[in-house]
């Protein structure tokens, strides 16, 4: 029987930010430096940390409101941060030089992710009920993938705001994009044809986090919702493969380990849970945070597994996974 993954706390930084920490992502290693951790906070800053000691490398300022999302380019050279002021700032990770500033109408910038090749940045479009795609070489908006309006609604019907898009995820082969909305639906798009494929139903409350399982031709999508459950979907077949329950609050974030064996979630119930996909159950609960856990992130590759979690309690925690 394969050994289950286990988490062990490595390091925590209290008061990592002056306010709640809302988002975290790992920046892949480059030829000249190992992976780094990026965190974004209500305090309007993005901070760069070096594992495993979580030494603060830099604090990036410049956003005018809280930072809702950070994303790293697969090369590890550049990254993007988005704030409530609906500006996305693209910057060089090592020098903090600004490469581009992407503007959008108010409340139309939420979670972001670079595609696996690094040629496109997908931004969840919030109130625009769409995903915006930006070309990374020229920083122009190249496509807007819109969620079709529900049948029977008039064009001026503001019920489209139910489709407020919060989260976005690329499939590992770059062919599919999934986004999660406030009303619990997940929309799947064919990227090459810029076409909406179908909805994935199941959740009835906001879907704040999505992630595909990491194998190259993966069709498996994990979704985390305020309804307290994690669903596992087959994006092509539209069926729910499974569901995992256990959190006693909203599930705010989900991430999958680089080997695809385990899933971690962060929740408003202040815990981080590690789930075994095969057993469909939580195999470990970490309770070191004293407030909602907004984001969890597995380090991609590197020696030994690492998981980071960030929370409303302003702290960052780093765990070792084995």
Partner 1 sequence: MDDLSKSDMKFFSDQQLCFADILLPHEVQARIQVAVLNFLKILSSPDPEISDLPLINRKLSNSRVSEGILTDVSWIFLSHSFCSRSLMKANATKAFIRVWKVMEMCFEILIQDKRVTQRELFYKLLCDSPHYFSSQLQVNRTIQDVVALLRCSRYSLGIMASSKGLVAGRILLQEPNQEAVDCSACGSSGYAISGDLNLLESLIMKTDARYIVVVEKHAIFQRLAEDNVFNQIPSILLTAKGYPDIATRFLLHRMSRAFPDLPILALVDWNPAGLAILSTYKFGSIGMGLEAYRYACNVKWLGLRGDDLQLIPQQSLAPLKPRDLQIARSLISSTILQDNYRQELAVMMQSGQRAEIEALYFNGYDYLVKYLAKKIVQANYI
Size of the site for partner 1 (CB under 8 A): 18
Cα–Cα dist 244/232, whole Å: 8
Cα–Cα dist 16/47, whole Å: 9
**Per-residue b/e over 248-260, b at no fewer than 16 CB within 10 Å?**
eebbbbbbbbeee
Which residue, 15 or 32, is less far from partner 1 as judged by CB?
A: 32
Q: DSSP of 112-166, one letter per residue?
A: EEE-TTSSEEEEE-BTTSEEEEEETTT--EEEEEEPPPPTT--TT-GGGGGG-EE
What distance lies between CA 128 and its chain's CA centroid?
19
Which residue, 94 or 276, is less far from partner 1 as judged by CB?
A: 94
Which of 4, 12, 20, 30 contacts partner 1 by CB under 8 A? 30
Which range of residues in 74-82, 104-112, 241-249, 313-321 is near partner 1 by CB under 8 A? 74-82
- Using rule CB under 8 A, residue 31 touches partner 1: yes
| x-marked contacts with partner 1 along 135-174 as a string, rule CB under 8 A | xxxx------------------------------------
Which residue, 35 or 126, is less far from partner 1 as judged by CB?
A: 35
Which range of residues in 28-36, 177-185, 240-248, 270-278 is near partner 1 by CB under 8 A? 28-36
Instruction: Give 175's strand partners.
Output: none
Which residue, 34 or 74, is less far from partner 1 as judged by CB?
A: 74
- Please, which residues have CB within 8 angstroms of residue 198's CB and are 6 or more apart in sequence? 187, 188, 238
Which of 75, 107, 161, 218 contacts partner 1 by CB under 8 A? 75
Cβ–Cβ under 8 Å, residues 25 and 72: yes
Which of 119, 161, 218, 245 contacts partner 1 by CB under 8 A? 119
Which of 7, 78, 295, 307 contacts partner 1 by CB under 8 A? 78
Q: End-to-end distance of the chain based on CA atoms, in angstroms?
A: 15
Question: Contact residues for partner 1 (CB under 8 A)?
Answer: 30-32, 73-75, 77-78, 92, 97, 99, 117-119, 135-138
């Amino acid at each position: 029987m394969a050994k289950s993954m286990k988490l062990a706390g490595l390091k925590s930084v209290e008061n990592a930010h002056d306010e709640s920490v809302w988002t975290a992502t790992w920046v892949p290693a480059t030829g000249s430096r190992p992976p780094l951790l990026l965190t974004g906070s209500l305090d309007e800053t993005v901070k760069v940390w070096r594992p495993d000691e979580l030494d603060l490398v830099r604090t990036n300022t410049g956003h005018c409101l809280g930072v809702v999302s950070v994303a790293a380019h697969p090369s590890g050279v550049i990254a993007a941060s988005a704030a409530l002021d609906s500006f996305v700032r693209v910057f060089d990770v090592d020098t903090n030089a600004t490469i581009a500033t992407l503007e959008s109408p108010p409340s139309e910038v939420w979670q972001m992710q670079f595609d696996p090749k690094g040629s496109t940045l997908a931004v969840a479009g919030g109130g625009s009920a769409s995903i915006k795609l930006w070309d990374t070489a020229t920083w122009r908006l190249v496509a807007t993938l819109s969620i079709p309006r529900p049948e029977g609604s008039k064009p001026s019907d503001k019920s489209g705001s139910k489709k407020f898009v919060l989260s976005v995820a690329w499939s590992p082969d770059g062919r599919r994009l999934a986004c999660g909305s406030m009303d619990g639906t997940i929309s799947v798009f064919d990227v090459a044809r810029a076409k909406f494929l179908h909805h994935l139903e199941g959740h009835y409350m906001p879907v704040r986090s999505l992630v595909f399982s990491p194998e190259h031709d993966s069709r498996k999508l994990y979704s985390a919702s305020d309804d307290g459950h994690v669903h596992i979907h087959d994006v092509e077949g539209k069926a729910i493969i499974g569901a995992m329950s256990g959190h006693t609050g909203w599930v705010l974030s989900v991430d999958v380990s680089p080997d695809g064996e385990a899933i971690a979630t962060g929740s408003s119930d202040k815990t981080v849970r590690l789930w075994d996909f095969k057993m469909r159950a939580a195999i470990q609960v970490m309770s070191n945070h004293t407030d909602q856990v907004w984001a969890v992130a597995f380090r991609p590759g590197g020696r030994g597994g690492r998981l980071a979690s960030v929370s409303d309690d302003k702290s960052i925690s780093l765990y070792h996974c084995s």
